[in-house]
Every structure is written in structure tokens, then in C-alpha cells.
Chains A and B, each alone.
Chain A
Amino acid sequence: MNCREARRHLSPYLDSELDPTTTFAISEHLHACDDCRWRFDAERRVDQEIVAELDAGVVPDGLWRDALRPLRTPLLRRWKFYMPLVAAASIAITAGIGWLTNSSTSQPHWVIREFLAETNNGRPFETANETTVPTGAAIALNPFSDLVVRLTPEVALAHVVQFVRLDSIRDADGTEIVEIRLNCCGEPVVMRAARRDRPGRLREFLGADETRLASLSNAGDVAIAEREVGDYTVVAVSRHPTQELLAAMTVQ
């Protein structure tokens, strides 16, 4: 891929919306071409500056309270308006009692999603298929086959977790880093694992992850948490608390 072709894909590349083959080709080009790498980095910074300026910040409490006020109006005040609905609802409730008593509550679960896009830089992910993983199951973080994430009931009850991607990066010197992307309670989380004695570019990735997540909104600080698990260093980057997710990593 040459410079012109690479720059033609700039916009979808910045948004991580290219197919894996093109993404890889551009990455290879950026690795080799200082000028394009500088340019792509600068364009990403321009996006970050624009986002920072456009971000309207947090909604004032009073404004949001007003927005929800109609929903919180006591039922009695709306009684006259809803009278016909209430009458109809009471019939429906009576008829539905049998169904309700037979229904079962859903169990907490984690969901693994397969990717459409190669990467999403910490954004909510678009998915092709979903596979529910039962609580208690372990997912091996290949190529580190002895490192697993075990879906404990405690985590599943405390958080709504959607696994979206598991990938590994192998550098030229053989260093391997596992990358796990997930959404926890609606917040993007990026986790990475590397052998403790061969961390490779682990720290380098962390800085980039933190910058990307921070650029999405200013709703809170992005934190980096770290844990040693057996022979591995596991790190998590998110606005959301990640201690329990890190604790779910074990060696078997």
C-alpha cells in the first residue's frame, strides 16, 4: 500500500471501521512510513481536540430531573388521565397472573460476541453473533492456554459483562500480548495480558488505550489497574471499576 492509498482510508481507519485486511495493510504502511505515521497520529489528535471541544460535559442535575419529571409524577395526579388504561390493565393483570406465576427469572450470564470489525478502540462493539457463556465457565486466553478468565457468579451478579473480542498480538521478537475487549455495565474495558518476564509493548499499549478511552467522553477518569496472575501480568483500562474482572483471571 502506498501513501495515497493509505490516506484515502484515513477516516474509516481513525474510526477502526476498516476490514482486517485493509487495517493490517495500513498498519504495515504506517510502520514503514514515518510521514504517514506522523500524519495519522496528528489527525487522530485533531479528532480528540474536536471531541474535547464538542463535549458538552455533564447534564445539569436540574435539567435531567425536569426531563424525567413526567415519569415520576405520582399516579394519583394522573389518575383521571389514565383511568381507562388502568381499567384495561386490571383485566390484563388478572388474565396474566397464571402466566406470571409460571415464568422464570433469567439467570445472570456473560455474553461473548463475535466481531464484525477488526478493532474498535474501546468503543461499544458491533456484533455479528452472540453466544451466551454460562456462569462458572472458563475462557482460555489463547495463546496463554493456562491463563483463563472464569465467570464467577459474584462478578456476573455485580456487573453486566459482554465479552466482545479476544485477540493476541505477536511482535517480531516473539513477544505475545493477549488483548481482551469487553463492555462492563456499558463502559468499554480493554484488558491485556503478557508474560511477566516478557512484557514487550504492554506499557506502550496501555498509554494508547487510556488516551482512546479518555477521548470518548469526560464522564470520569480512566483508570489503569494491574494484577499479577501466575507468570502473567494482567492490566485493565477503563472508567469502570475493574478489580473484580481482574480477580476473575486465574491460572489453571
Chain B
Amino acid sequence: MRRSRDKGEFLDQLEPLRHQLYGYARRALNRTDGVPDVLQDVALTAWREFPQFVPGTNFRAWVFRIMVNTVYNHNKRAAREKKIANDDTPLDVEVVLEHENEWASILEDPGRLREVLDDRIVHALDALGSNERQCLLLCLLQGFSYKEISEVLDMPLGTVMSHIHRARTKLRERLTVLAIERRLVGEGRP
């Protein structure tokens, strides 16, 4: 049965999520200039669908499902305008093993990684496949459990786990390469 819409009740639940929704949109959109549109679309869609929301269930997961779909549509539109790599490519285990020593060096002082690479971490994330990026953002940045992510993305739990594992490994590999390029680790480092 559809519930009546109470705007106050809706906003009470939506407002505390505004920073998380903004954070996700900023990192998940291929074009960050689309953030205002996405936020407005999400707010409107959630309000329109609010009567379908079952009280007592996970409002955050429910809103993020709307967010994920909205971002997907925006990214699809953006990809039509400009070809953007969006495939979940397989993990190259050999490359990862090849940089094992460099990664171990990075682990000695992870804080330095951020100092040196700063915004390149964001670009490294952009290099992930769309599913991997979504799963990693929902997990790391938004603190969703794997089960919640599987519900938000309508994806089997095992697939979520694989995506997160692969995304983590790929991201670390990408960061290692960047660290080598900047001579943070490996031969020729200061």
C-alpha cells in the first residue's frame, strides 16, 4: 500500500545524508559538473518514490539505489558525448606481483603516499571499471556493508566481494605505478 507523503518526514531523513550523497556524486560521476543536476534528480526522484519506501527499512540504502541509478544514467549520457573507458578489465596479477616490493615500500609510510600523490588518487579511481568504482566508493567512502551494496546495485554478494577486492588491488597497483613515476619508491628515489 502506498503511504501518504509527508515532506517533513522525507526531508528529516534525507538531510542527514546530504554530504554522503554529494561525496558519492563527486567521485562517481565521470563529469563532476553534473553534480548539481544529479543531486536535484536524486532529491526529486526520492520524493516522488517516497510513498513506496517501507518505514523501518534502510532509508540510506534506498536513497543510494536512486543515486546509483541516477549517476549511471548521467554517466551513460556523458559517455555518448565523449568516449570514456568504463569496462571492468581483468586484474593483471603478474603486474601486481612485479610491483610487490615497491608496494611494500609504500606500506612503510602510507601517509607519504597521499602527500605526494594528492589528487592523483582521484584520477587513479577514475581508471577503475564502473562496477568496481561503484562498489569501492559505496564500501570505503560510504561505509555500506557488502550486503547493502548488493541490494543497492542489485548484484550478487559474491560479485560485490570480487569487485571490491579487484578494485582495491587495481587501485593499489595504479598508485604504485604513480609512486614509481614520481620516484617515491623504486630505483632512483631520493
Contacts and interface: CB of A to CB of B under 8 A. Distances in A.
B22 A63 contact: yes
A95 interface: no
B26 interface: yes
Interface residues of A, number: 46
A216 B107 contact: no
Contact of B108 (A42, A50, A111): A42
Contacts of B42: 67
B43 A43 contact: no
B113 interface: yes
B168 A186 contact: no
B29 to A, nearest CB: 11
B114 A49 contact: yes
A51 B7 contact: no
Which range contains the number of B residues in contact with the other chain? 35 or more
Contacts, number: 128
A47 B125 CA distance: 13
B43 A67 contact: yes
A42 B109 CA distance: 8
Contacts of B139: 15
Contact of A63 (B35, B44, B113, B165): B35
Nearest to A162: B56
Nearest to B43: A67
Nearest to B166: A11
Contact of A66 (B36, B108, B146): B36
A217 B144 CA distance: 12
5 contacts: A39-B107, A42-B107, A43-B107, A46-B107, A51-B141
**10 closest Cβ contacts across the A-B interface?**
A59-B22, A67-B39, A42-B107, A56-B26, A126-B145, A123-B143, A126-B147, A11-B165, A45-B110, A56-B23
